[in-house]
Each structure stands twice: as C-alpha cells, then as structure tokens.
Amino acid sequence: MIRRHMLSRRTHGANYARHQRYRRLARAGRLALAGTVAAVLGLFAVRTGAAFAGAVLVVAGIVLGVRARHWLSLAERSGVRARSENVVRRALAPLQERGWRLRHGLR
C-alpha cells in the first residue's frame, strides 16, 4: 500500500533522506538564529550593567550555537545518504524499463 506522503515524495523527486536533510537544516537555522539573538542580547545586557543576566544569555547563545553545529553535521550525513539513494535509484532504473517492478523504501 502506497501512503499519500510516499506518493507525493516520488512525484517531486526527493527521497526521505533529502526531506530529513531539509528538516535538519531548518532546525540548525532556528537554533543558530536563537543563539545569535541570545548572544547579542547578552552582550547588550553586559554593556548596560546587568553582568550576570548578560553572562547567562551569552552562555545560552554559545550552547545554542553548538547545538546548531550538531544539527548541521546531521544534515550533512543525510545529504550523503540522499545522494547515495539517488545513485542506487538511477542504477536500478534500466531494470524497470525491462519490466522489473521495483519498490523503494520497504521495511
């Protein structure tokens, strides 16, 4: 049974790993943005005299930046997997032309 999301994925030419990569990149972007905002607010707070609150915000920004880097590395792995799946799909395409029935993504 083909699920609706599997069918739409095939029609757009993107496999699961590629979708996973985009989700991971989006998460990394959100974390990086939040980390940047926290660090800038922390530096502003330190400059205006709230040293402890500023230090906490700067540390939070650094932690969010580290998490963003982690998600970027996961997105890179998903990109490698997506390219590998596309290579396999292209290698198997001639079999489909000869009448073989190929089913991708089976558990």
Each residue's pLDDT tens digit, 67-86: 999 999 999 999 999 999 88
CA dist 84 and 9 (Å) reads 17
Identify whether the C-beta of residue 60 lies closer than 8 Å to the C-beta of residue 42: yes
Query: How far, CA to CA in Å, does 15 sit from each of 21, 68, 77, 86, 89?
Result: 10, 24, 14, 8, 10
Whether this prediction's pTM lies above 0.85 is answered by no
Helix/strand/coil percent split, the chain, to 5: 85, 0, 15
How long a stretch of residues is the chain?
A: 107
Q: How confident is the model at residue 7 (pLDDT cuts 50, 70, 90)?
A: very low
